[in-house]
A = this chain, B = another copy of it.
């Protein structure tokens, strides 16, 4: 099984699918913190074909633990791509019509430069010396990739959860470079509860002695137990109570009676342990720290003296904002806040709250209303834009 720290060379060697490009060679990326990063690598994958006038490109932004493989078997886990239901020939994001780009975020661990990458200045992994990044930095790096690909205007930027944050950031900072934006199950800022859950996950990782103050790669260790606990905790927040109940209830795991012990008596325990233990095989602990931190720092209104609408003033982007009724991690009120801000600047915005009991993860699941709505929105955007797709 591939270790996340090997992903850079695996892509370069053709052992992982997709592309890798070095960016920032003519000047480093200036981060929100004031630090500079560069040159750096961006790993990305594409599906479909770019048309002649480069007008059919859709940028798909992944969530916290996602990566650039939304629409193919994952090269490490061999599982279906995380947005396999959404992207493909004849699907909502129809790869017979659109050119889909998905890049691993800055700070990630699947080939884009992150804390597990080698710092060219030292020849050692960055580890805790990697600079703290923001959603703004992540999107700035994506923009460099899109520029590198020679695409002046994206047809659409779309994503769920942290992907939605990137979508909003794109629309705010590079509004002239995209025609439409679809933030799903997102928020314009991280709430106190969101920060709290992330902080517990980070503390679990940093409490693991094998984290080695962030230097576990050079120490040839991995904070597996801490990262697994962080993943288990986060996973609960991705599901609604109803979904957990339907999936597991109080059913026992391969036994007829409770064991009066601390084994995984209940299916839900066994499931969570499995989620934790498989996650550590594909994800880097420091990436988890850095990306959760970027999410916590996200606060679009704060950059505009508390006025969220000012983040979108004079926008020409067409928006389709989506939330899920049972999402308690990024509840509908967060999406409504975005919609109100967009209304305040007379933006072109559709809003859909999908009635579902599946919780936050609904954006990854088979939700016919979601899929139908997005198909309609994209079709309308094509007609309205006058582009030939």
Please give the residue numbers on chain A whose beta carbons come within 8 Å of chain B beta carbons, in ascending order: 32-35, 131-132, 189-193, 195-197, 199-200, 202-204, 206-209, 225-226, 228-229, 232-233, 236, 241, 244-245, 247-250, 258, 260-262, 264-266, 268-269, 272-273, 276, 289, 293, 296-297, 299, 302, 328, 331
Q: A190-B250, A197-B236 are in contact. Are A229 and B207 (CB under 8 A)?
A: yes
Which of A197, A260, A261, A331 lies at the interface centre, i.e. has the most chain B CB atoms within 10 A of its CB?
A260
Closest Cβ–Cβ distance, residue A330 to chain B (whole Å): 11
Report the nearest B residue to A302, measured CB to CB.
B250
In the bound assembly, the distance between CA atoms of A269 and B207 in angstroms comes to 15
Given contacts A192-B268, A229-B200, A269-B199, contact A206 B328 (CB under 8 A): no
Total identical chains: 2
In the bound complex, CA of A197 to CA of B266 (Å): 13
Residues of B within 8 A of A203 (CB): 225, 228-229, 232, 273, 276
Given contacts A229-B229, A249-B192, contact A204 B206 (CB under 8 A): no
A369 to chain B, nearest CB (A): 25
Identify whether the interface residues of A are mostly helix, strand, loop, or mixed.
helix
Known A-B contacts: A32-B260, A132-B261. Give 6 more (CB < 8 A): A192-B247, A192-B250, A196-B232, A196-B268, A197-B236, A250-B302
B residues near A293, Cβ cutoff 8 Å:
262
The contact sample of 12 A-B pairs, CB cut-off 8 A, is A131-B260, A132-B262, A190-B250, A191-B241, A192-B247, A192-B266, A195-B250, A199-B266, A203-B232, A204-B229, A207-B229, A233-B233
Q: How far is the CA of A202 from the CA of B266 in the complex (A)?
A: 14
CB distance from A220 to the nearest CB of B (A): 17
**Complex Cα spacing A42 to B208, Å:** 36
Instruction: Contact check, A262 vs B289: say whether CB atoms are below 8 A apart.
Output: yes
Complex interface: chain B residues within 8 A of A265 (CB): 296
**Considering the chains assembled together, what is the distance between the CA atoms of A33 and B259 in angstroms?**
8
Q: CA–CA, A250 to B236, complex, Å?
A: 23
> Which has the most chain B C-beta neighbours within 10 Å: A233, A264, A302?
A233
Contact A196–B229 (Cβ < 8 Å): no
Given A197-B236, A199-B268, residue A226 in contact with residue B207 (CB < 8 A) = yes
